[in-house]
Structure 1
Amino acid sequence: MTEQTTALSPARVRFALLALALGGFGIGATEFVAMGLLPNLAADLLPGLAASDPAAANAQAGWLISAYALGVVVGAPTIAAAAARWPRKQLLLALLAAFTLGTVASALLPTFELVLAARFVAALPHGAYFGIASLVAASLMGPGKRARGVALVLSGLTISNVVGVPAITWLGQMQGWRAAYIAVAAIFALTFLAVLATVPLQPGDRNATIRNELKAFGSAQVWFALGIGAIGFGGLFAVYSYVAPLVAEVTGLAESAVPLVLVVIGLGMTAGNFLGGWCADRSVRRSMYGFFVLMLLALLGLALSAQNIVGLLLFIFLVGAAAAALSPTIQTRLMDVARDSQSIAAALNHSALNIGNALGALLGGLAIAAGFGYVAPVWIGLGLSVLGLLIALVSFAWDGRRRSRGEVLGYGTELVQVVGATR
């Protein structure tokens, strides 16, 4: 911890952590609110297509989700590598200002193409914010609580899915989707003020350079960890991206039920996030295996019982819980294997997860547009999660082989660290 951090009172630490989590709350809202408002976005931005072919319009509106995800993929490593030397508080404030402006632009621009571009630009700070905020939170939490620090920052995102996303979805249904994005922009502006007031000054990494940060890409294990998130996490987004038409067309509920289903997903994500942080601090490997198995069972159950309201609510809760538990687990794994490139490692997790976001939304939309129905994305999600688990098995087996040869992973100097990374 920095000298400034050790001098903070417990109350100041709590307020700083809450401010960082509030940023996650805003990010959860800006990322996920489009999923509950997908038919509304399609009807307003693609009126001709929505009138002639609603399924095709919903699938094309899903590009807005993919555009945001791709913005995260591009922005996370770029900003994290370029700005690793910046003082962390000032960097967080700059990212929050960019979020606010990008979200306002998303609300005000008139055409589908311009809104698509705005969603890409608004997403650029996403991964860097979570990465830097996670490093600050880990510093505030102290030794031995790294994954729980990550989970605390992510808790804003998961709680947003309980409270923020359903409430803003309801606002969008009542007042139009543009009002929903204005509300999200207000959350980011409030977070800017909260971070300004509570987060202590922390220096950046004075030894960091773009070249050193990018060395993380030379590690095979970094690529394995990115693959776990990019492919395995697609299971959540294949479902979440099309939850509104799934609820209406498959389960047969009214549009007004969509926010309630989003609450259920959010409750699962909140519980899973804290459980994942607690478990990952004890065993990254066992946590990853266990939560992937839970994800597979939940997706299978949802695919088979989405026509029934009880099955829908039960299994969509478990999908959210398993996916959220995997997030701090994957991030901790990335930070373990990225050697000294901690800034970019903390951000790359969100690039990986949002490749999963884009992939799940894209493949799910293609399946719907091809006429396979609104349950098809659930089966696609199941396949993506199977592939994610297989990559995890290969990654940890690789660790075991290196340990048997007496090699180190490279992020530490002692053989015992290989053992720690493969727990």
Structure 2
Amino acid sequence: MPLAVFVLGLAIFAQGTSELMLAGLLTDMAADLGVSVPQAGLLISAFALGMLAGAPVLAVVTLRWPPRTALLVFLAAFIAAHVAGALAPGYWVLFATRVVSAFVYAGFWAVAAATAVGLVPANARGRAMSVIAGGITVAMVVGLPLGTVIGQHLGWRAAFWAVSVLSAIAMAGVAATIPGGRPERAPRLRDELRAMAAPRLWLAYGTTALSTGALLVTFGYLGALLAETTGIAERWVPAVLAVYGVGTLIGITIAGRTSDAHPFRTLITGVTGAVVASAALALTAGTPVAVIVLVFLLGAFGFATNPALNTRVFTLAEGAPTLAAATNFAAFNVGITAGPWIGGLAIDGGLGYPSVAWIGAALGVVTLGAVGWAYALHRRDAGAKAGAELSHSTPALNEV
């Protein structure tokens, strides 16, 4: 695996820390900004909204830019937005900086994914994407709990300053290792749009959005659930979130090695495991030991789907790697946006924090339906291809 792929994973870790750390800072941020916890939770959705718009827009705008130039511009804007967020005087200014920083983070992810896939052979795409997305899992294991600890001891604004510094270090790494210049064959927007017209590609995007929403509806309020329902002391919440992160790292690492050869098996295993873990979490939310085990399993199974969701898109859109990656990233963020929003509605409706896990289980069941539909179409295509090959070989056999 080229060193550049690992550097891109490091940059995703730096930015992913910002995306995830709010899960452990919501209660403190709500108190400091004078808003409710569900309203503070909308800052997670604000970040997702920025990524939802940023991925396809910036993928198109920078389609013919040298990849290194685009990546460095995105990182510079991300750092500036976080400095502004750390200095934000109120909720709505902070909300705006979250949208802006997420917008450029989305552009970075789209270009980074296409760059990583272009650096490896087709049978290693799953591993490359597991390294890129592994930056998110490391952010869960290290960045999320570290950001929570910093926020608890130095204030949530200090966590934003820490992300700025971390992103600057990642920017230096990108400048040092990503090759400069334009690719030999610059992509054309017309070709990418034509490849994007396949209906099955959009079924894959729908699967991405559903599976992500099923996970994020629980994860978005996991810190609050641990403190308010499970009764875990505040100082131990970062440790439990780290357990979740360890699960995601294990799940995505294993799936990165299986998703190229067995994408549907990987998806079905991951989604089914997440459904079971979500339902069990809802039933045992008041039992600390059970919750800790289930948080680990939820992370492992939930993130095991990530490499397969990504490689499936690249398989279906060979001629549109940049825009396909951008749109799939947008689909991830449809789930990230919808999950916490739906969970917030349930909490505001008085259903309690365990209700978000029930919602996650229900969304997971719908996801399984989408995966089954895609698999049925895949099997039909495989059968038709085998039949066509057999019919072409029959005349030759008759001649013999």
Structure 1-normalised TM-score? 0.88
Q: CA deviation at 1:36?
A: 0.7
Preserved CA contact (<8 Å) 1:86 1:205: no
Which runs of 5 or more structure 2 residues have no equivalent in the other structure? 391-400
Alignment-mate amino acid for residue 305 of structure 1: T
Q: What is the match of residue 23 of structure 1?
A: 11
Determine the structure 1 residue equivalent to 2:396.
none
Whether the 8 Å CA contact 2:213–2:360 is kept in 1: the answer is: yes
Letter paired with 1:41: M
Distance (Å, rounded) in 2 between the aligned partners of 1:415 and 1:44: 67
1:32-47 equivalences in 2 (<5 Å): 32-45=20-33, 47=34
Q: How does 1:186-265 map to 2 (within 5 A)?
A: 186-201=165-180, 203-204=182-183, 206-265=185-244
Instruction: Report how far residue 67 of structure 1 moved.
Output: 0.8
1:390 aligns with 2:378: no
Tell me the residue number matched to 2:284.
Answer: 305
**CA drift at 1:401:** 2.9
Cα separation, 2, equivalents of 1:62 and 1:229: 22
CA contact (8 A) 1:222 1:338 kept: yes
1:51-130 pair list within 5 angstroms: 57-130=36-109
Distance 1:58 1:106 in 2: 19
Aligned AA (1:44): D
3-state SS of paired residue (1:345): helix
Which deviates the most, 64-73 or 396-405?
396-405
Q: Which residue of 1 aligns with 2:398?
A: none
Aligned partner letter, 1:196: A
Question: 1:258-316: per-residue Cα shift (whole Å, max 9, x none)?
Answer: 11111011101111111111110211111111111111111112111121111111111
Deviation at 1:143, TM superposition (A): 4.7
Pairwise CA RMSD? 2.0
Classify the secondary structure of the residue corresponding to 2:89. Answer: coil
Q: Match for residue 419 of structure 1?
A: none
The residue number in structure 2 matching 1:158 is 137
Match of 2:112 among 120, 133, 141: 133
Q: Is the 8 Å Cα contact of residues 76 and 127 (structure 1) preserved in structure 2?
A: yes
What is the match of residue 159 of structure 2?
A: 180
Q: 1:293 maps to which residue?
A: 272
Whole-angstrom CA distance in 2 between matches of 1:415 and 1:197:
49
% identical equivalent positions: 36
CA distance in 2, matches of 1:65, 1:106: 14
Amino acid at match of 1:31: E
Deviation at 1:18, TM superposition (A): 3.1
Deviation track 1:136-157 (CA, whole Å, cap 9, x = no partner) reads 3334444521110111111121
Q: State the aligned residue count.
A: 390
Larger radius of gyration: 2
- Picking from 320, 324, 327, the partner of 1:345 is 324
- Asked if the contact 1:34/1:65 (under 8 Å) is kept, the reply is yes
Question: What does the per-residue CA deviation read over 1:312-363, in whole Å, with 9 as the maximum and x for residues that have no partner?
Answer: 1111111111121111110111111124011111222221111111111000
The 8 Å contact of residues 346 and 355 in structure 2, kept in 1 or not, is answered as: yes
Q: 1:297 to 1:169 in 2, by over 3 A?
A: same
Runs of 5+ consecutive residues of structure 1 not aligned to the other structure: 1-9, 50-56, 409-413, 417-423
Q: Deviations over 1:50-88 (max 9, x none)?
A: xxxxxxx11111110111111111111111122222111
Within a 5 Å distance, the mapping from 1:400-419 to structure 2 comes to 400-406=379-385
**Does the alignment pair 1:315 with 2:294?**
yes
Amino acid at match of 2:219: Y
Deviation at 1:125, TM superposition (A): 2.2
Which TM-score applies when normalising by structure 2?
A: 0.92
Aligned residue in 1 for 2:312: 333
Partner amino acid, structure 1, of 2:6 = L
* Aligned-partner Cα distance in 2 for 1:112–1:143: 45
Aligned to 1:302, what secondary structure does the other structure show?
Answer: helix
Alpha-carbon distance, 1:206 to partner: 4.0
